[in-house]
Each structure stands twice: as structure tokens, then as C-alpha cells.
Amino acid sequence: MIKQQFDQVTDRKGSGSMKWSVEQNELPMWVADMDFRCCDAIINALRKRVEHGIFGYSDIDEEWEASICDWWHKRHNWMMKKEWLLFCNGVIPIISSAIRRLTSCGDRIVTMTPVYHIFFHSIEHNGRFVCENELIYRNHQYEIDFEHLEKQLSDPRTTMMILCNPHNPIGKIWQKEELIKIGALCAKYHVTVISDEIHCDLVNPKCEYVPFASASELNAEISITCVAPTKTFNIAGIHTAAAIVPNESLRCQMRHALNDDEVAEPNVFALPAAIAAFREGEPWLEALREYITENKQLVTEALQDEEDIHVIEQQATYLMWIDCSKYVQTVSSFVIFCAVKPV
Ligand SMILES: Cc1ncc(COP(=O)(O)O)c(C=O)c1O
């Protein structure tokens, strides 16, 4: 049973783990890095690569492209072309390169908040301004403020929008209609969309995510989608990701941007790990999704009698977003990780 493997506790201290370089009894809750050992298929692929014994420069191979195209077709009903794919060693490097190449200093970049805080770094450290489109929080649910979004997109200084789909940290999967509406507004005001879809495979069983670029032809034309097996299969340290860019002109610019930033070449383990994940990782992922759902259920049940604490209903990620605003004045909520063995 794969699921039982998730009960195994591995001591990561002393393994060079950034997450676990902490003081005794300190719980590192800030980084999305699971404590589960990754699936055997990936470990075997890496072992095979190590045993080859020669670790020269690597090239992109067709099997990497095919494994991504097949996975998105089978699991997410999106037929992409292999030519659309560009390798990159991380999702954040794609976002930062896109910002540098496709926008100018002083431009405004829209993102819906609360959101993964590193988006702020990528924008601000490159001399652009964050334009926060605050999600509307009503009855313990989040919705998009489209009216405000249109105002922000119509500002001539706004040149890019960074979308998180599914959205970290609130765990929401955006609906096809919402994605079409965002795409139409961005196209109307000539705003390029970067859709960060790194959490797309970590959705609850029976929930389906819609890739932004698959929602309409217009969405595909104006967007760069960022994907990776790293969150899903717990291999962030291997540094393997992809930009999916259907529009040829945008793709050409992104190819140059990633090359200029020296983030377009895979290390020797990046492709074998990704290929093994997408070709053989599905049973492991199904077991993981069930395990995480049960963990979320445990937390929800433990908190259900707490009148002033509300677990936000969510369909994706292994994070939980819990409203504790009655207790904490400055920060309205905090995150809990469900990708650990329950105690
Ligand atoms: C939404 C989101 N994007 C990107 C990343 C990091 O991606 P990478 O390590 O590939 O740069 C994370 C990590 O937590 C994330 O939550």
C-alpha cells in the first residue's frame, strides 16, 4: 500500500534541508516542502542516472516534452504542443525572467492577494510595482473583485498580471468562466498573464483544475503558464520546471530571457526526475491526495467547535488557510501544512 508509506517519518535534520535547519522544537511552517519521501519511480530513475557515472552538461530531450504533454492531456484535458515548452530550473526564475523581459522598470504588475509572498519579491526586486487586487473575503470565502481588476488592468502602466491557479495560500481552484473573464480583460488592456500552476496536481480527489491557457484561445495567446513536478512529487531541490508558451512571439522572447538569465539548462537529474514523475508517478499521487485530504479532515474536525476559528474551504494544495482574525489582529489568517504524518 503506497498510502502507508506516508506514515513513515524521516529525520531530515542534518540532510542539508533548508526547512529543517531550525532550532530544537521549532516548527518550520513557512515553506511548501513536504516531509514525505518521494515516489520509488523517481528514486529509481535518479539511481540509474547516478550509476551511469558521467555527469556532463545535459540537453532537453523529446521524452521530457512528451511526458509533460501526455500528463496534461490525460489529467487536465489540455492538448499542448511540444514546441510550446521551454525548460527552466524553477517557476520563480520563469516569473522573474518574464518580468525583466516583458515589462519595464516602473510598470505595475497585478496579482490577486493574499498570495504566495515571493511574487512580491520578483516584482519589487526588479524595480516594478505590485498592484494588489485584493480578493473579496465574504462568509469565509474568497471571490475575485472584477470591477477593481478592470480598473487596475486599464491603467496604462499595468503590463502584466501574475495569476496563481490553483491559488496559494487560499487553496482555491479558479473556474473556467473566471479564467475566461480574466483572460478577456487582460487581452482588452494588452496585459500579459503569467499563470503559476505549480500546485495544479495537488487538488482534492474529485476536484479538477482548469489550465488558464486551455480556457480560451485568447487566454492561450496572451499567457505564459508555469508548471513543475516539484511541489506535487516533493522534489523541489531538483530544480525542474517548464514554461508553456503557445504564442510564438512571446515564446521567442521567453527563450531569450531564460537563456540570458542562465536558467534554461537542466542539471543531470532534472529531466529524469520529471519524466519518471509524469510517466510513473500517478499511483503515488493518487495515494498522496487521499492522505492529504484525510489530514485536512482531521484538522477541520479538531477545530470545528472553535467558534472564532474558521477553516477556509479549499479544493487544492497541501496548505490550510485558517481564519484566526479574532485572535490575531495584524494577520488575519495563517497556514497549516497537511503534508506531514498526523500526530
Ligand atoms: C505558488 C508557488 N509558485 C512557485 C513556488 C516555487 O517554485 P520554484 O521552487 O519552482 O521556483 C512556490 C513554492 O512554494 C509556490 O507556492
From residue 248, alpha-carbon distances to 14, 47, 95, 244 in Å are: 46, 37, 18, 11
**Grid cell digits, residue 295:** 489530514
One-letter amino acid for residue 340 of the chain: V
Say how far apart CA 221 and CA 186 lie, in whole Å.
11
* pLDDT confidence tier of residue 27, bands split at 50, 70 and 90: confident
Based on the domain organization, do 329 and 201 belong to the same domain? no
Question: What atom in ligand 1 is closest to the CA of residue 33?
Answer: 14
For residue 334, what pLDDT is reported? 61
* pLDDT confidence tier of residue 25, bands split at 50, 70 and 90: confident
Ligand 1 pocket test: which of 198, 202, 233 has the largest number of ligand atoms within 8 Å of its C-beta?
A: 198
Based on the domain organization, do 22 and 79 belong to the same domain? no
Measure 231 CA to ligand 1 centroid, in angstroms.
Answer: 8
Is the residue at 52 inside a domain?
no
Average pLDDT of the segment spanning 191-212: 97
Measure 142 CA to ligand 1 centroid, in angstroms.
Answer: 21
Based on the domain organization, do 69 and 164 belong to the same domain? yes
* pLDDT confidence tier of residue 336, bands split at 50, 70 and 90: low
For residue 24, what pLDDT is reported? 86
* pLDDT confidence tier of residue 325, bands split at 50, 70 and 90: confident
* pLDDT tops 60 at residue 313: yes
Nearest CA to ligand 1 atom 14: 32
Domain tally, the chain: 2
Is residue 204 within 8 Å of residue 235, measured between CB atoms? Answer: no
Is the residue at 343 inside a domain?
no
Average pLDDT of the segment spanning 192-199: 98
* pLDDT tops 80 at residue 201: yes
Question: What atom in ligand 1 is closest to the CA of residue 230?
Answer: 10
Q: Determine if residue 127 is left, alpha or beta; phi over 0 gives left, psi from -120 to 50 gives alpha, anything else beta.
A: left
Domain containing residue 75 = 62-280
Say how far apart CA 192 and CA 190 lie, in whole Å.
7
Measure 118 CA to ligand 1 centroid, in angstroms.
Answer: 8
- Stretch among 28-32, 207-211, 214-218 having the lowest mean pLDDT: 28-32
237, 265, 280: which is the final residue of a domain? 280
Based on the domain organization, do 121 and 261 belong to the same domain? yes
Based on the domain organization, do 96 and 162 belong to the same domain? yes
| CATH code of 319's domain | 3.90.1150.10
Based on the domain organization, do 6 and 109 belong to the same domain? no
* pLDDT tops 80 at residue 278: yes
Show the ligand 1 pocket: residues with CB < 6 angstroms: 32, 90-92, 116, 164, 168, 196, 198, 228, 230, 236, 241
Q: Give percent of the chain above pLDDT 70.
A: 96
Cα-flanking dihedrals φ and ψ of residue 111, to 5°?
-145, 145
Is the residue at 55 inside a domain?
no
pLDDT in tens, 280-312: 999 999 999 999 999 999 999 999 999 889 999
Is residue 281 within 8 Å of residue 42, measured between CB atoms? Answer: yes
Based on the domain organization, do 172 and 263 belong to the same domain? yes
* pLDDT confidence tier of residue 329, bands split at 50, 70 and 90: low
Is the residue at 241 inside a domain?
yes
* pLDDT tops 70 at residue 330: no
Based on the domain organization, do 67 and 206 belong to the same domain? yes
pTM: 0.96
Is the residue at 25 inside a domain?
yes
Based on the domain organization, do 252 and 110 belong to the same domain? yes
For residue 40, what pLDDT is reported? 96
Beta strand pairing status for 241-244 and 85-88?
Answer: antiparallel
**Mean pLDDT of all residues belonging to the chain:** 94
User: Which helix (H) or strand (E) covers residue 336, if one does?
Assistant: strand 333-337
